[in-house]
């Protein structure tokens, strides 16, 4: 009977140690998941910030392109007006221009 009790006690001790080891592994797994989640959140915030920066730069570039196109059209109009004035100076001179 004593041997059976000793065997049961030893078996219980082994099972308790295994339970402690599994519990510790679970806690470590949870900690790692929390670290991964924190890193993921940080990376998402950085990515969102970069996306906002890129969108702002796209808006600025579109605005610059529109301004450039307008300036180019104005220069073409000025060139055409200048070409007309130099090829037909009598009309513009008599009109007071």
Q: What is the pLDDT of residues 61-77, one digit of tens each?
A: 999 999 999 999 999 99
Phi-psi region of 96 (alpha: psi -120 to 50; beta: other; left: phi over 0): left
| ∠ Cα 95 96 97 (to 5°) | 95
Look up residue 95 and give its DSSP letter: T
* Mean pLDDT across the chain: 89
30-89 per-position pLDDT tens digit: 999 999 999 999 999 999 999 999 999 999 999 999 999 999 999 999 999 888 887 765
The answer to whether 85 and 92 have CB atoms below 8 angstroms apart is: yes
* Residue 35 confidence (pLDDT): 98
| Total-model pTM | 0.57
- Which residue, chain included where needed, has tokens 């599994």? 22
């Amino acid at each position: 009977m004593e041997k059976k009790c000793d065997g049961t006690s030893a078996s219980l001790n082994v099972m308790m140690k295994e339970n402690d080891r599994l519990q510790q592994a679970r806690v470590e797994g949870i900690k790692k998941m929390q670290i991964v989640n924190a890193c993921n959140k940080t990376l998402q915030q950085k990515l969102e910030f970069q996306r906002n920066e890129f969108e702002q730069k796209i808006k600025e570039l579109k605005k610059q392109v529109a301004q450039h196109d307008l300036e180019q059209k104005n220069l073409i109009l000025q060139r055409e007006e200048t070409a007309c004035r130099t090829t037909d100076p009598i009309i513009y001179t008599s009109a007071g221009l």
